[in-house]
Structure 1
Amino acid sequence: MIQAFGLTSNPRKGLPPVVDDVSFEARAGRVTALLGGEGVGKTTVLRLMLELQHGRGATYFRGRPLHRIDHPSREVGVLLGDVPGHPARTVRGHLRMLCAAAGVPVRRADEVLEVVGLVSLRDERLGTLARGMDRRLGLACALLPDPHTLVLDEPFDALSARESNWLYGTLRAHASQGGTVLLTVTDPKEAAATADQVVTLEQGRIVADQEAADFARTRLRPRVAVRSPHATRLAALLTKEARTAHRSVEVVREDGNRLSVYGSTCADIGETAFRHSVLVHQLADEVGDMGPGAGAGSDTGAGIGTDSRRSGREEIHSGSELPGAPAASVSNLIPTATPRGAVPAQEAAPAREGDAAVRETVPSHDDHDISDTGALPTHGAQAPGRASGGTEGAGVPRPTGRVDPVVSSPLPPPSRPAPHPLPSTPHPTPTTPRSHDALPDLPPPISVRPAPSPLRPLRYELRRAAGIGTGFLTAGAVLVVSALTAVVMARIGHTPQARLLAAWPRELPLPPAAIGAGLLGALAFGDEFRHPALAADRGTVPRRLGLLTAKLLVSAATALFLAALTVGCDAEVLYLVYGREVAQVPEGWLSLGASWFALVVGCAWAGVLAAGIFRSTTAGLAAVVAVPVVVVPLVQKVWEGPSVRTAAGFPMRVREVLLAQWPFGGERYLDAAAKVIAQPVGSALTLSLTALLCAYLLTSVRSRVR
């Protein structure tokens, strides 16, 4: 269950808040729709619920706020916009990386791929997926940790009818097992056809919180869609006959040759057209929007303030049915705005009463498209974490074939009676039989939750780094540039052997290997914020110490490998071009090698920490370059500046104090480390890493406090 209390966004520049005091409940075993036009604050509500945006109010997921849940992804599956992932990563690689982050078995990726129908596209890149396939992948990412709750923002946006039906069936199957589904929609008919509960939002406030049956009865009404090349003449005839018969009929002239007739039937309109020899191309029952806010701001469902878009609108009322009567008493007679586009009869909205679903045959040119309701296939045992509300997942039907998009109770028992029609009413609301192909079962529940493992972030980081070719291309570019630089330096001469093998000219602040290692380190966190696979929104990458440790370990290993490979390639190229005397190993190679590896690893760590703090790859690389350009001169100036007393001989005294008592010759290694740190670049890099680490820890603490 989701419980939202007083959600209010922070106002900006004197403007009223986008969302103001929004409170509602989304119960388990049900699909809840948050309905509203563009710009009314639906997405803001979701962001406030998920703590992605600052504001007031509280949201509880099964009694706990999101920041109090140890593993939020296992409780709430989120889909906001496009799938956040690197466009060069494969579908299967992306899911396997998320498996490592969530601590679920890697086979889970193949299970959800089979469920969402992406097995044939598992080797496709994320950047090449179409909109419908991207929606499927987003749902796969949400279902991967087997969450209890699904929170989806406009999941049906830009989907075809077939894909919408598939997505509807999957969401209904999740709810039928006791899960909670909350989604945002813009079209009132889509809300009535999809949800069990509809929460209507206008100008950042809730104006209605209704069961789907009540919503369909009070906010939608039937109409007849007519297409005729003589639409103007037919409208005049219908108006004249309605006035003569003292019937309340509203005729709305839509774009082109289309009419929307309220208060009449297909039979009456057809007879009128036949008597006056008017050619009719379409005659079908539909539903139209009704009342303030019913689809406001939507092209498919016009609401309040949309009457100005009509042309040729005519209204006729009998003497006892006054236009000014209260909406509650003459709700089916009030002229309201209607959608501009034609909607087929099969896309009408549903009507529900209690726990019973209503199906009414709608006249249409495609009568063969309307079939009986199919049973929902069982899914087996109930998934852990979906037992909220005391519901059982075993034996609960799931959609196969044609499905009625209505489940009014939180979770219907297996012995639920068959659907029965409601008593006849003067203005019945037509229903919408959704249809889609047979769906595979949801992925099996994860019965055993693995305990937190220190290797989980390490596995994630390894899959993240190896899943795309950026690291390999960077390493290749570093080797080529380093080899060419070494050849040019050897040709010029007057270069020490150590700098020659490292390809480090005195004119450059850092060698190519150190810059490349810093770039790879910056990408480790920069890609997290640019393509936030671990979060639903930019800037919400978790700052846990386990993730930082994994990135530092992987970047250090990568830097060591790159440093060794660079020296080896430079030596080999110099041997091939100039001979053995240029590629000789310099004296004191042990201390020089330690300094070299420490420099490259330090640059990689500086890139990781700076990118994690400033949330940018560019900032991480800039921090690496700033060490020799800015920090080294400052350290030298402070160290050698005029003062009464100086710290000359400080490294030697440290070695005398700390290294005298070390057994087994350990003082030699510490002495080598002290020499590295005592160098200008080493001391500056040590100072920079210390400052960056403290800043990262401070930002981590602040994010947890919030």
Structure 2
Amino acid sequence: MIVAEQLTKRFGDKTAVSNVSFTVQPGKVTGFLGPNGAGKSTTMRMIVGLDRPTSGTVTVAGQNYAHLRSPLTEVGVLLDAKAVHTGRSARNHLRAMAATHGIGRSRVDEVIELTGIQSVAGKRAGKFSLGMGQRLGIAAALLGDPRTLILDEPVNGLDPEGVRWVRQFVRHLAAEGRTVLLSSHLMSEMAQTADHVIVLGRGQVLADAELSELVRAWTTNDVVVRSPRLSELVAALAGPDVTVTASSPGVAEISGVTAASIGDLAASLGIPVHELTSRTGSLEDAYLALTGDAVEYTSKEIA
């Protein structure tokens, strides 16, 4: 379990994290989301003692990370896949890490096989592609068979097979009762992986909820309707709770009423309907609604 209480970090005049409190429960994959500059990486660094909090506390399994007697076997961490000795082979990098905790070479061979880097294990890590570097970083995080896993953008640079493997593997670890904190900007992937979601924005917690609850609270369901007599149908549907947004000639997105009700009404009025598609909100929709006012870096809209 990871517990943060009133966690704050300032760098000079800039407050990167402000009074952040949350609990990452074992047995679940917890997604850690937020725009660039939201404070996710700083928070992760504070969890594992790389940054000292200005105020507040954070513990792993009830202890400050710096007080763990065998950190590698307690917490597996991937924050920067490039943090390796570029002149060492992948195997020797892992063996050097293992030696600090008395972990045998057989375990090194296990994580090499587990992460699929057998064919490059003898090559210098500095020559690795982004995807291979990520796999080596995951192997290092798994080396001590830890009860807690903290992964920052683990699927960055991975091919589809690698992305799927990470998803299945972290869910397997959570099912074993381990604590998993996973950061990613890939909303579609996070939607398939996470059970619980913590969203940061401008250094503060914007949401901390089960994924399904978050989506339900921050999105609306609508129905895409296509009809040659759309205006008649819309007029018949008019009501205080019904919202209609025209998307193209003869097509509209309607919220506040179900597809079944629209279909029944159209049939009763003899109005032909060429499309009637229910559309539910996604994690991406909820995330954008949540963080719309908390984005520090924005791109110019393309006209």
- Normalised to the residue count of structure 1, the TM-score between the two structures is 0.36
What is aligned with 1:6? Answer: 6
What is aligned with 2:47? Answer: 49
Match runs of 1:197-216 below 5 Å? 197-216=196-215
RMSD: 3.9
Contact 1:87–1:125 under 8 Å retained in 2: yes
What is aligned with 1:40? Answer: 38
1:198 partner letter: V
2:183 partner letter: T
What is aligned with 2:121? Answer: 122
Give the drift of 1:64: 0.9
Q: Take 2:234 and 2:102, find their aligned partners in 1: how far apart are those partners?
A: 68
Contact 2:221–2:278 under 8 Å retained in 1: no
Q: What SS does the aligned partner of 2:85 have?
A: coil
What is aligned with 2:70? Answer: 71
- Which stretches in structure 2 are left out of the alignment for 5+ residues? none
What is aligned with 1:96? Answer: 95
Q: Take 2:151 and 2:16, find their aligned partners in 1: how far apart are those partners?
A: 19
Q: What SS does the aligned partner of 2:180 have?
A: strand
Q: What SS does the aligned partner of 1:20 have?
A: strand
Q: What SS does the aligned partner of 1:44 have?
A: helix
1:287 partner letter: G
What is aligned with 1:246? Answer: 238
> Which deviations, in whole Å up to 9, do the C-alpha atoms of 1:514-571 show, x marking residues without a partner?
xxxxxxxxxxxxxxxxxxxxxxxxxxxxxxxxxxxxxxxxxxxxxxxxxxxxxxxxxx
Structure 1 residues 187 and 116: CA distance shift in structure 2, 3 A: closer
2:286 maps to 1:287: no
Q: What SS does the aligned partner of 1:201 have?
A: strand
1:296 partner letter: T
What is aligned with 1:218? Answer: 217
Give the drift of 1:87: 2.8
Q: Take 1:185 and 1:250, find their aligned partners in 2: how far apart are those partners?
A: 34
Match runs of 1:308-457 below 5 Å? none
Give the drift of 1:50: 1.6
Give the drift of 1:48: 1.6
2:253 partner letter: V
Q: What SS does the aligned partner of 1:33 have?
A: strand
Structure 1 residues 98 and 11: CA distance shift in structure 2, 3 A: closer
What is aligned with 1:18? Answer: 16
Identity %: 32
Contact 2:2–2:59 under 8 Å retained in 1: yes
Contact 1:221–1:290 under 8 Å retained in 2: no
Q: Take 1:61 and 1:252, find their aligned partners in 2: how far apart are those partners?
A: 51
Q: Take 1:285 and 1:292, find their aligned partners in 2: how far apart are those partners?
A: 17
Structure 1 residues 101 and 30: CA distance shift in structure 2, 3 A: same
Structure 1 residues 243 and 3: CA distance shift in structure 2, 3 A: same
Q: Take 1:53 and 1:119, find their aligned partners in 2: how far apart are those partners?
A: 34
Q: Take 1:122 and 1:11, find their aligned partners in 2: how far apart are those partners?
A: 39
Structure 1 residues 172 and 291: CA distance shift in structure 2, 3 A: closer
Structure 1 residues 188 and 294: CA distance shift in structure 2, 3 A: farther
Give the drift of 1:296: 3.0
Give the drift of 1:180: 0.6
Q: Size of the alignment, in residue pairs?
A: 287
2:75 partner letter: V
Give the drift of 1:267: 12
Give the drift of 1:75: 1.1
Q: Take 1:199 and 1:241, find their aligned partners in 2: how far apart are those partners?
A: 41
Q: Take 2:230 and 2:71, find their aligned partners in 1: how far apart are those partners?
A: 59
Q: Take 2:88 and 2:281, find their aligned partners in 1: how far apart are those partners?
A: 44
What is aligned with 1:30? Answer: 28
Give the drift of 1:41: 0.9
Contact 2:91–2:122 under 8 Å retained in 1: yes
Give the drift of 1:253: 5.0
Structure 1 residues 105 and 189: CA distance shift in structure 2, 3 A: same
Which residue of 287, 291, 297 maps to 1:296?
A: 291
Structure 1 residues 67 and 238: CA distance shift in structure 2, 3 A: farther
- Shift >6 Å, 4+ stretches: 234-237, 266-269
More displaced 10-residue stretch of structure 1: 79-88 or 234-243 = 234-243
Give the drift of 1:52: 1.2
Contact 2:94–2:108 under 8 Å retained in 1: yes
Contact 1:188–1:295 under 8 Å retained in 2: no
What is aligned with 2:194? Answer: 195
- Normalised to the residue count of structure 2, the TM-score between the two structures is 0.78
More displaced 10-residue stretch of structure 1: 38-47 or 86-95 = 86-95
Contact 2:216–2:281 under 8 Å retained in 1: no
> Which deviations, in whole Å up to 9, do the C-alpha atoms of 1:339-361 show, x marking residues without a partner?
xxxxxxxxxxxxxxxxxxxxxxx
Q: What SS does the aligned partner of 1:38 have?
A: coil
2:28 partner letter: R
Give the drift of 1:4: 0.9
Contact 2:228–2:272 under 8 Å retained in 1: no
Which residue of 250, 258, 261 maps to 2:253?
A: 261
- Which stretches in structure 1 are left out of the alignment for 5+ residues? 227-233, 312-706
2:46 partner letter: L
Q: What SS does the aligned partner of 1:19 have?
A: strand
Contact 1:48–1:54 under 8 Å retained in 2: yes
Structure 1 residues 260 and 54: CA distance shift in structure 2, 3 A: farther
What is aligned with 2:162? Answer: 163
Match runs of 1:601-616 below 5 Å? none
Q: Take 1:136 and 1:23, find their aligned partners in 2: how far apart are those partners?
A: 31
Q: Take 1:73 and 1:216, find their aligned partners in 2: how far apart are those partners?
A: 35
Q: Take 1:92 and 1:266, find their aligned partners in 2: how far apart are those partners?
A: 59
Structure with the bigger percentage of strand:
2
> Which deviations, in whole Å up to 9, do the C-alpha atoms of 1:65-100 show, x marking residues without a partner?
011112212211110132411333322222222222
What is aligned with 1:108? Answer: 107
Contact 1:188–1:294 under 8 Å retained in 2: no
Select the structure with the greater relative contact order (CA < 8 A; seq sep ≥ 6). Answer: 2
2:56 maps to 1:62: no
Q: Take 1:173 and 1:191, find their aligned partners in 2: how far apart are those partners?
A: 15
Q: Take 2:261 and 2:88, find their aligned partners in 1: how far apart are those partners?
A: 57
Give the drift of 1:142: 0.3
1:242 partner letter: V
Structure with the bigger percentage of helix:
1
What is aligned with 1:185? Answer: 184
Give the drift of 1:29: 1.6
> Which deviations, in whole Å up to 9, do the C-alpha atoms of 1:242-285 show, x marking residues without a partner?
3443263444759xxxx99353759979x9xx9598xx9xx795
Contact 2:74–2:148 under 8 Å retained in 1: yes
Contact 2:218–2:290 under 8 Å retained in 1: no
Q: Take 1:240 and 1:12, find their aligned partners in 2: how far apart are those partners?
A: 61
